[in-house]
Amino acid sequence: MNSLLDSPVQRTKHAQGAASNKISVDRLRQLHRFAGLTLAVFIGLHLINHLFALVSIAQHIKVMDAFRLIYRNPLGEALLLLAIMVQVPSGIMLVRRKGWRGLPLAERAQVASGGYLAFFLVAHVFAVMMGRYFFHVDTNFYFASAVLFSPVWLFYVVYYGLSVVSVFTHVASIHYQKMLPRTSPQRAQTQALAIVGIGVVITVLILLVFSGAVYEIRIPPAYKWW
């Protein structure tokens, strides 16, 4: 049977198509990485901010006020929202190409954590924007903590908890794949598990302090929607 690519012209066209497809996937990866690094800066500051709640609510709010100078000025906010608008669709497109079946565990962990982060980022930023522009409240410590005192607190424990664990799982799986060619699989695995472990500790600390297990929290009436 004659192959569709029998003629030299068709073969050249096919090769060009494959090359341009490769370039666009590489571009997509580059975009995803760049937006991811931008987001990582914010997420780093954001989680450090939440850990300051272990000191006191006043300290958390003070640190948030300082960090807001970076991410709440028009340029910082535009950059952050643009990064999310690039990160979420580019991640979904990369996953659609990669698929799920037959993937090694590290890549499955990367896809699953990335999928949750895509959902969480959209839902979480929407909630913050609603709080800010519709309910006209300061989206500070109390905004995040209030939901953990609501009748649906258990949902929020899982929702918040998975978000922080997913950030660290995503980083750990990328780190594991990058380290594999450079070190032994055991060492790469130990380092990846250590990253996830740090994430779990940070998650538990944040959830404990925001849920009132570390000190008493009195939610102001403006934040009670139930």
- Residues in contact with ligand HEM by CB under 6 A are 43, 46, 50, 64, 68, 71-72, 77, 80, 117, 120-121, 124-125, 128, 139, 143-144, 160, 163-164, 167, 206, 210
CB count, 10 Å around CB of 206?
A: 20
Q: CB 90 → ligand HEM: shortest distance, Å? A: 15
Of the pair 39, 188, the CB lying nearest ligand HEM is at 39
Cβ neighbours for 223, distance < 8 A, ≥ 6 positions apart: 137, 142, 143, 145, 146
CA distance 84 to 119: 11
Q: CB 8 → ligand HEM: shortest distance, Å? A: 50
Q: CB 146 → ligand HEM: shortest distance, Å? A: 10
Q: CB 57 → ligand HEM: shortest distance, Å? A: 12
Of the pair 7, 73, the CB lying nearest ligand HEM is at 73
Four-CA torsion 104, 190, 165, 113, nearest 10 degrees: -10
**Would you say 89 and 17 are in contact if contact means Cβ atoms under 8 Å apart?**
no
